[in-house]
Structure 1
Amino acid sequence: LYLLEVILEESGRNLSSFPNMPCPVRNWAGIGENRFIAEQLNYDRDMERVWAEERVAQMNEEQRTAFDAIMGCVLDENANLNNRVFFLDGPGGTGKTFVYNTLCHAVRGYGWIVICVASTGIAALILPGGRTGHSMFKIPVEGLTAQSTCAIPKGSDRANLIR
């Protein structure tokens, strides 16, 4: 029941919103691990490396150039943070998603967390563990004002994942 309550709270609801539904009788929050981090690390590192290697071998020259540049920055701890932003652009069918997925598998192969985010649900579906931006970062979608901010509480499991 506690886990259902946690999931519902992400949407601004709780079990008491549903008549006749029992509520958790104790707070289990301090007992478990950060479920967001656990979810992002729930993969086989060896398989992630294999998938990345297979995909890198299939890349064309432009895809490989982009992949190598991005991975170079990911692996370089001394890289300037201003040089760690990339924009991958190209017409439909040129393999942008293929590069994104390969990057995800390669980075996860090191045992690191990768949060795959897209602006639409359809786009998120084709990324490993993909989520929409408004879902992952709690970006409001209604009633936006100049003062609107993401609704991620400080110190929450979600905030700790992003941090």
Structure 2
Amino acid sequence: MRWASLKIAHVKKAKKEKVLSAELADSLTKLTNEQEKVFDTIMAAMNNGQGDALFLYGYGGTRKTFVWKTLITAIRSKGQIVLLVASSENAFLLLPGGRTSHLWFAILINLDEFSTCNIKQNSALADLIIKAKLIIWNETPMVNRLCIKVLDRMMRDLLRFNNPESPD
């Protein structure tokens, strides 16, 4: 019985990835030259495995959300994980499957210089964050600078614990 349910899950995943691949092909044809450069730069940074922090800036109406959704589709079509984070509840509605930074990273509301994320080593959430190929954080300039520092500290701790040879 268990084998049958695993086989069904595998078939569903393969169908989902096929649908996402078709959606990606369509989305890639709709990118402008500038959006395509952004897409390629982010994909290259993600694929080099070194970790990077990139900032996508544009006025309202420049289709930043479309670029995000194309990136999401590209990553998920390969069966990889992308985490969608927003600084406010309104912003996360734009991203499929998005959550606020406080939910994804267990960041406290009232922060100080010594605050940490409330994520335990080897927890399911820690494992998910480690496995993520990309984290898209919408409206990052709107957050308290301490949120970024807390997240950076947490990522360093998680990745160091996962790979003791990783540099600080």
Q: How far apart are the structure 2 equivalents of 1:49 and 1:76?
A: 22
The secondary structure found in structure 2 opposite 1:116 is: strand
Q: How far apart are the structure 2 equivalents of 1:145 and 1:89?
A: 28
Aligned-pair Cα RMSD in Å = 2.0
The match for 1:152 among 119, 125, 131 is 119
Aligned to 1:45: 17
Which runs of 5 or more structure 2 residues have no equivalent in the other structure?
1-12, 131-168
Matches within 5 A, 1:1-163: 44-77=16-49, 80-81=50-51, 84-142=52-110, 144-163=111-130
Per the TM alignment, residue 76 of structure 1 is displaced from its structure 2 partner at its CA by 3.6
Which runs of 5 or more structure 1 residues have no equivalent in the other structure?
1-40
TM-score, length basis structure 1: 0.66
User: Aligned partner of 1:110: which letter?
Assistant: K
More helix by share: 2
The secondary structure found in structure 2 opposite 1:111 is: coil
User: Aligned partner of 1:137: which letter?
Assistant: F
Following TM superposition, the consecutive aligned residue runs of length 4 or more in structure 1 with deviations greater than 6 angstroms are none
Per the TM alignment, residue 75 of structure 1 is displaced from its structure 2 partner at its CA by 3.0
- Aligned residues with identical type, % of pairs: 39
Q: How far apart are the structure 1 equivalents of 2:129 and 2:99?
A: 13
The secondary structure found in structure 1 opposite 2:102 is: helix
More strand by share: 2
Q: How far apart are the structure 2 equivalents of 1:94 and 1:62?
A: 10
User: Aligned partner of 2:114: which letter?
Assistant: Q
**Aligned residue pair count:** 118
Q: How far apart are the structure 2 equivalents of 1:150 and 1:117?
A: 15
TM-score, length basis structure 2: 0.64
Per the TM alignment, residue 119 of structure 1 is displaced from its structure 2 partner at its CA by 0.8
